[in-house]
Amino acid sequence: MFQPIQYTFRAMLQHLSIRNYATVQGLDVDFRPGMSALTGETGAGKSIIVGALGLALGDRADKTVVRTGAKRTEITAEFDVSKNDAADAWLEDNQLQGDAANSCLVRRAVGADGRSRAFINDSPVTMASLQQLGALLVDIVSQQEHQSLLQRATQLSLLDDYCVEHTLLEELRSLHGRWQTNQRDIARLRSDDDEGRVQLLTYQLDELRELAAEDGETGTLEQEHRRLSGAEQALAALAGAVQDIADHEQFNALGSLRRALQLLGDLQGDSNRIANAMELLESACIQIDEAAADLRAATDEFPIDPERLSQVDDRLGRLHDMARKHKVKPAELAQLTRSLQEQLQAIHGREEELQRLGDEDLKLRERYAEVAGQVGKQRRKGAGPLSREIEKRIASLGMGDAGMEIRFEPLASDAVNARGLERVEFLVSTNPGQEPGPLSKIASGGELSRISLAIRVVTAQTSQTPCLVFDEVDVGIGGGVAAQVGALLQTLGDSAQILCVTHQPQVASRAHRQYSVDKSSDGASAQTSISELDEDARVLELARMLAGAEFSDASLAHARQMLAGDQDSC
């Protein structure tokens, strides 16, 4: 017997803090497990609270969300992830675990300039990361989402959540990704003009090997060239310096110092200062004499060698010419030679690489087909039970003659994707004898809303997203149908956390708890607030929802009756 996939983990939104968002100046609210209804007058701001939660989880935002006069909007949501294996694993993989065990804090700040920042457990993260985690924590179902149900991709996701093992879907996506990468590598290798490339590389390498440039050769030759080309100038400079300090017949520094010492010789006994000066002059004579000797010896370091200079000049010219040809620096020629050799070797080894990639491609195709077959088998096995469950729920919502089936269509070989070998389409008939057709063609707006809700209720019991938020999905229905909607949501709330924004008293009365959203004004600005209602306050709120602001004793009695009918299960 078929059993739908059951996910035991259930995260819970514990606390929501909103600062300077739209009409909310400051708001803090605690939530608990089960079904919670958010009610209030039209325009009070119920959907604003849902929007703030969506913003905290990565929805797009701009500066218009910032309350007038404020510098920034800040939304913080705290979740209990003690039973959410997927979220806990994601936090661990991304090293974003919080200090408090089993708690996850997400925060979003949007400035008046539109700039946005996101945080998970007080660590800054990208918006993509925030959205990834948000998808594991909360699923917000709005009126607009009815349109997404018309898309086959959405329908396939709902079916997969209901009956396909998550690990199989992950492996299928991984295999397809690896297969596509392998295919691109094969195409790249096959598209290269190997023959022309080999000819060019061989020609270039022959030239470079003949030149035989070495690492560091250019720098060494340039230094030698400077020394050889400047040898005559250097020798002349050395000779002139030696003449000036020691060897000139008529005047040189050493001779001048010695003459000065002779003149002072007879005076050294008359003054200590003269004696000190003579010691310094004698020391200077010694140093100049040594300097002259070093300069004479240095002339050996500047040999005049025209033949060697010509050789160096020619070698440098060849290196520079080759470097210009290949658009590199002369010092990079040796590395260029090695690089071209590696490229040539890679081309010669390309056939081996193509063979390896071809073998890998075959293995990936075979494994993909095997896993996709298992996924398709589970889909077909679960499609019937899912259709029957949805039919039951649709019938309870006042569409007893409606029928539901899921049709499979195999994909062409060139259309196979990361989701398998087939696509599905939800077909519905709303009248007896009517041929089932696509939702977009068969169902009216009101019928689509009820069908969408029925599908959501059925698939939510197997969905991997643990907290469900229904934002006015019951618009356009009333009476007994609204009561059935409330009963369905209450059933979900027995095993999960449900937040429901509603105008229907039949729905609100089924909630395990109820919150009133109110808007006040001081004449200058509006302020949205929220409060949890006790039993007496719930009666008053339900009476208002039934009869309006001027409700009667009969409305109060009706409200008590509606609420009492649900007390045993609260």
Is the same domain home to 109 and 205? no
Amino acid letter for position 117: R
> Rounded CA gap, 374 and 351, in Å?
35
Give residue 219's pLDDT: 87
Same-domain pairing of 208 and 344? yes
Describe the strand order of the beta sheet including 513-521 as a list of residue ranges. 138-142, 467-471, 497-501, 34-39, 513-521, 526-532
CA–CA separation, 446 vs 454, rounded Å? Answer: 13
Q: Which of 314, 348, 382 is the last residue of a domain?
A: 348
Name which of 57, 65, 62, 50 is nearest 19 in CA terms: 65
123 and 213 assigned to the same domain: no
Q: How many other CB atoms sit within 10 Å of the CB of residue 295?
A: 17
The verdict on residue 267 lying in a domain is yes
Backbone angles phi, psi at 550, to 5 degrees: -95, 60
Same domain, 204 and 326: yes
Same domain, yes or no, for 204 and 78? no
Does residue 3 sit within a domain? no
| Domain extent for 203 | 196-348
Picking from 348, 364, 383, the residue at the C-terminal end of a domain is: 348
CATH number (domain holding residue 98): 3.40.50.300
Write out the two tokens for 103. Answer: 């708690």
Q: Are residues 203 and 341 in the same domain?
A: yes
**Do residues 478 and 550 both lie within one domain?**
yes
Positive or negative torsion for Cα 94, 100, 106, 107: negative
Residues 139 and 203 in one domain: no
Per the DSSP assignment, residues forming a β-bridge with 140 are: 469
Q: Do 210 and 133 sit in the same domain of this protein?
A: no
In terms of residues, how long is the chain?
570
**325 located within any domain:** yes
Residue 420: its pLDDT value, please? 94
Is residue 399 in some structural domain?
Answer: no
- Exposure on the CB side of residue 217, measured as CA atoms within 13 A: 18
SS3 133: helix
Residue 560 domain-assigned?
A: yes
Instruction: Please check whether residue 555 is in contact with residue 543, taking contact to mean a CB–CB distance below 8 angstroms.
Output: yes
CA 223/CA 361 separation, integer angstroms:
56
- On whether both 213 and 322 belong to a single domain, the answer is yes
The one-letter code for the residue type at 570 is: C
- The last residue of one of the domains, among 348, 381, 407, is 348
Domain for residue 501, yes or no? yes
Pair (120, 206) in one structural domain: no
Whether residue 300 is contained in a domain is answered as yes
* Pick from 159, 77, 146, 18: nearest CA to 530: 18
**For each of the chain's 570 residues, which pLDDT tens digit applies?**
555 555 444 448 999 999 999 989 999 999 988 899 999 988 888 888 999 999 999 998 888 899 988 999 999 999 998 877 778 888 888 899 888 778 899 999 999 998 999 999 999 999 999 999 998 888 887 766 666 778 888 899 889 988 999 899 999 999 999 999 999 988 887 776 666 777 888 888 898 898 888 898 888 888 877 777 766 677 667 777 877 787 777 778 877 888 888 888 777 667 788 888 888 888 888 888 888 888 777 766 666 667 777 888 888 888 899 889 888 898 888 898 899 888 888 777 777 888 899 999 999 999 999 999 999 999 999 999 999 999 998 888 888 888 999 999 999 988 888 999 999 999 999 888 888 998 878 777 677 778 888 887 888 767 666 688 888 877 777 778 888 888 888 888 877 789 999 999 999 999 999 999 998 887 778 888 999 999 999 999 999 998 887 888 888 999 999 988 743 433
378 within some domain: no
324 and 234 together in one domain: yes
pLDDT attached to residue 230: 65
Number of domains in the chain: 2
